[in-house]
């Protein structure tokens, strides 16, 4: 039996340093449930021994596995529908109306297993067909820290259980094709807009380029106030003039009024780069 109390603080420090995730106090049950398999495989007696094993030469693989296991990959199609309605009713009409000659670029940060970026791509596809928009070259850069989540996202294939979480029958028929194994694959026209990259939000964004819209939703809640401010400040630098940031329903951009202007969309709030 692994003692998850001994070394808990050291493990929390490790996790925050390398992933940005701030566990806080009394989350030993979460650590135990997420790391059960790894703790058994490593035959460690407590979290101090686990952190020591990660720190030894050759511990990179274990470090990656631990961070991957501790990353929350909760997601669904068209999550919290309002951001996608705002994209459809405000952001896409504004972009295609004002910048018809430049390809649209969107960043989906902390994209998990791909449902958000593929949902964005479906919305673009439907909007362009409905409004006879002939622009091309849209790019959605989707990033995540979790290797296993990115592998699932890149495969563009989902079991029926995952498909059923937020995706209606019409969109399933329109944007997916069934595989011989009974799974559902995103059609090439939707998938080709999305480029997946491994990224820790604590790292530099310099190689990402500039964006018109950034989705950074339901991830900031796991970070400290200082790290959150740092991330939001650096996201601002990635936005083109007048670009937009969308955060989660329980998240807000506070204390950065010099960088972002709040835009009320009723329902929903988004942030425009100043």
Residue for token digits 């011989």?
Answer: 180
State the Cα–Cα distance between residues 198 and 102, nearest whole angstrom.
Answer: 26
CB neighbour list of residue 47: distance below 8 Å, 6 or more residues apart: 2, 3, 4, 6, 7, 8, 10, 11, 31
Confidence (pLDDT) at 45: 87
CB neighbour list of residue 173: distance below 8 Å, 6 or more residues apart: none
Side-chain half-sphere CA neighbours of 162 within 13 A:
20
Q: Which segments of the chain belong to CATH 3.40.50.150?
A: 82-273
Confidence (pLDDT) at 100: 67
Mean pLDDT by 10 residues, the chain (274 residues): 85 92 87 90 88 89 92 87 95 88 93 96 96 91 94 95 92 95 95 97 95 96 92 97 94 93 93 96
CA torsion, points 13, 230, 112, 70, in degrees to nearest 10? 10
Tens of pLDDT along 232-271?
Answer: 999 999 999 999 999 998 898 989 999 999 999 988 899 9
Say yes or no: domain 82-273 is CATH 3.90.550.10: no
CB neighbour list of residue 194: distance below 8 Å, 6 or more residues apart: 108, 114, 117, 118, 121, 140, 142
**Nearest residue to 103 via CA among 83, 81, 128:** 128
Confidence (pLDDT) at 26: 83
Tens of pLDDT along 115-125?
Answer: 999 999 999 99
Provide the whole-model pTM. Answer: 0.91
Confidence (pLDDT) at 200: 94
266 within 8 A of 233, measured Cβ to Cβ: no
Confidence (pLDDT) at 77: 96
Please state, as a whole number, how many other Cβ atoms lie within 10 Å of the Cβ of residue 177: 13
Confidence (pLDDT) at 238: 98
């Amino acid at each position: 039996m692994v003692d998850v109390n001994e070394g808990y603080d050291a493990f929390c420090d490790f996790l925050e340093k390398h992933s940005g995730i701030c566990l806080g106090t009394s989350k030993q049950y979460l650590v135990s449930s997420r790391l059960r398999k790894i703790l058994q495989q490593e035959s460690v007696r407590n979290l101090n021994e686990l952190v020591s094993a990660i720190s030894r030469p050759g511990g990179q693989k274990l470090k990656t596995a631990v961070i991957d296991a501790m990353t929350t990959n909760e997601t669904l199609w068209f999550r919290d529908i309002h951001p996608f309605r705002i994209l459809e009713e405000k952001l896409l009409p504004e972009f295609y109306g004002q910048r018809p000659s430049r390809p649209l670029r969107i960043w989906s940060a902390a994209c998990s297993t791909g449902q958000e970026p593929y949902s964005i791509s479906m919305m673009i596809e439907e909007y362009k067909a409905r409004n006879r928009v002939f622009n091309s070259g849209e790019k959605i850069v989707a990033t995540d820290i979790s290797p296993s989540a990115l592998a699932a996202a890149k495969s563009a294939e989902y079991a029926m259980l995952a498909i059923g979480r937020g995706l209606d029958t019409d969109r399933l028929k329109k944007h997916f094709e069934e595989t011989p194994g009974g799974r559902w694959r995103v059609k090439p026209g939707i998938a080709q807009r999305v480029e997946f990259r491994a990224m820790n939000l604590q790292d530099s964004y310099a190689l990402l380029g500039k964006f018109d819209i950034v989705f950074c939703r339901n991830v900031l809640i796991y970070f400290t106030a200082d790290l959150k401010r740092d991330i939001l400040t650096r996201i601002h630098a990635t936005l083109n003039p007048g670009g937009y940031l969308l955060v989660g329903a329980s998240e807000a951009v506070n204390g950065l009024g010099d960088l972002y202007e709040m835009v009320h969309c009723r329902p929903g709030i988004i942030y425009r780069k100043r």
